[in-house]
Amino acid sequence: MDRVRDAMVVDPPQLDGSASAQEAGEAFDRSEVRAVFVSDDGRFLGVVTRKTLVREVVAAGRDPRGTMLREIV
């Protein structure tokens, strides 16, 4: 029987709200990463997924290097 802990990402990536969408995209390079947690000064802002990046950055025609995560969560 599979257990939840077998599917868990032990240390999920966390980025500051000032990090770029490009940096979040690079975090998804690890196959087990499905989401990136975003915070500012220790305050949780939200979660960014691959779908978020596609919808809020790529499809919107925004520059991933110039788009901060706090703008899209």
pLDDT, one tens digit per residue, over 7-62 is 666 677 899 999 999 999 999 987 678 899 999 999 999 999 999 999 999 999 99
- Report the C-alpha dihedral over residues 40, 12, 2, 51, rounded to 10 degrees: 70
Stated pTM of the model: 0.82
Strand-pair partners of 37 = 14, 47
User: What's the pLDDT score for residue 11?
Assistant: 75
Residue 14 or residue 6, greater confidence: 14
Q: What confidence tier does 3 reach under pLDDT thresholds 50, 70, 90? A: confident
Strand-pair partners of 35 = 49
